């Protein structure tokens, strides 16, 4: 696991973009695993900026998103489908037919997404991290082998995500569909971004703690090519 600590969020986002740009420059047909949440927003801004200013092309890029809420329409402003369009897809030349997000509410729908994922190799999987160490929506206790599945969100995640739903926990969907840890670990390379003090405990447990299903992100210690890009606050509890 390579850990890069940056002065602030802006620098972190630029650094993360360097990692992504290297992948898409070497392989203009790259398959990207994309993530939502506030953590990657800065990276998406860098992608859009580079596309607009330097013409970096996404014409032959394919994307698969990590997760999506269950029980809200995909046109809901807080769906991850809407998030991806707002922050990235509507601003670069990725072909709509090459973008994929989990859709549906049953395990059969999740199995169908997993089957799609198994047909490809994700060259770069982007991740954020939850305050309880979740990645995607793989909450503590999720099996390390899990494929794409339907998840009941934990209280900690419902609370954290209520900020997107008028600070009303009752408005937050209680379930989601998420790529599993097994699906994530098949990616060739993983790029995880985290910022802010609220993530410091989760980051420490991911990087320095034991590999345990209680901290889903700790499994990344077993992946051969992970780059973690942090701001100072998220890195503040690391021992070195
Ligand atoms: N499902 C998402 C994750 O993919 C994300 O990484 C995490 C952190 O979100 P944020 O970046 O907004 O802190 O929580 C959400 O619940």
Segment 83-97, tens digit of pLDDT: 999 999 999 999 999
Q: What is the pLDDT of residue 193?
A: 98
Query: Which of the four pLDDT bands, split at 50, 70 and 90, describes residue 227?
Result: very high
Closest atom of ligand 1 relative to the 66 alpha carbon: 4
Which residue of the set 65, 132, 138, 161 is catalytic? Answer: 132
Ligand 1, atom 8, lies closest to the CA of: 130
Query: Ligand 1 center to residue 135 CA distance, Å?
Result: 7
Query: Ligand 1 center to residue 36 CA distance, Å?
Result: 6
Ligand 1, atom 4, lies closest to the CA of: 136
Helices of type H across the chain? 9-26, 41-54, 80-87, 107-118, 155-161, 181-185, 200-208
**11: three-class secondary structure by DSSP:** helix
How far is residue 2's CA from residue 81's CA, in Å, rounded to a whole number?
Answer: 30
Per residue in 93-135, pLDDT (tens digit) is 999 999 999 999 999 999 999 999 999 999 999 999 999 999 9
How far is residue 231's CA from residue 194's CA, in Å, rounded to a whole number?
Answer: 7
Q: What is the pLDDT of residue 18?
A: 98
Domains of the chain, CATH where assigned = 2-231 (3.40.50.1360)
Which residues does 102 contact at the CB level (< 8 Å), separation at least 6?
65, 67, 68, 109, 110, 113, 148, 177, 178, 179
Q: What is the pLDDT of residue 115?
A: 97
Which residue of the set 46, 68, 139, 195 is catalytic? Answer: 139
- Percent of the residues in the chain that have a pLDDT greater than 90, as a whole number: 98
- 67 annotated active-site: yes
Complex ipTM above 0.90? yes
Residue environment code for 193-230, b if the CB has 16+ CB neighbours within 10 A, otherwise e: bbbbeebbbbbbbbbebeeeeebbbbbbeebeebbbbb
């Amino acid at each position: 696991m390579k850990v890069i600590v940056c002065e602030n969020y802006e620098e972190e986002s630029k650094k993360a973009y360097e990692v992504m740009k290297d992948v898409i420059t070497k392989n203009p047909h790259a398959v990207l695993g994309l993530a939502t949440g506030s953590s990657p927003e800065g990276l998406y801004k860098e992608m859009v900026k580079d596309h607009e200013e330097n013409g970096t092309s996404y014409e032959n890029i394919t994307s698969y998103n990590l997760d999506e809420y269950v029980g809200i329409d995909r046109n809901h402003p807080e769906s991850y489908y809407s998030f991806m369009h707002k922050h990235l897809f509507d601003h670069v030349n990725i072909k709509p037919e090459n973008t994929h997000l989990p859709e549906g509410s049953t395990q059969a729908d999740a199995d169908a997404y997993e089957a799609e994922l198994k047909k490809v190799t994700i060259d770069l999987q982007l991740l954020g991290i939850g305050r309880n160490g979740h990645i995607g929506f793989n909450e503590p206790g999720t099996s390390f082998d899990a494929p794409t599945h339907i998840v009941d969100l934990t209280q900690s995640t419902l609370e954290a995500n209520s900020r997107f739903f008028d600070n009303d926990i009752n408005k937050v969907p209680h379930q989601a569909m998420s790529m599993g840890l097994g699906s994530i670990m098949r990616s060739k390379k993983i790029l995880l971004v985290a910022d802010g003090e609220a993530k410091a405990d989760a980051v420490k447990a991911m990087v320095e703690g034991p590999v345990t299903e209680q901290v889903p992100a700790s499994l990344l210690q077993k992946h051969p090519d992970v780059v973690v890009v942090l701001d100072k606050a998220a890195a503040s509890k690391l021992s070195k």
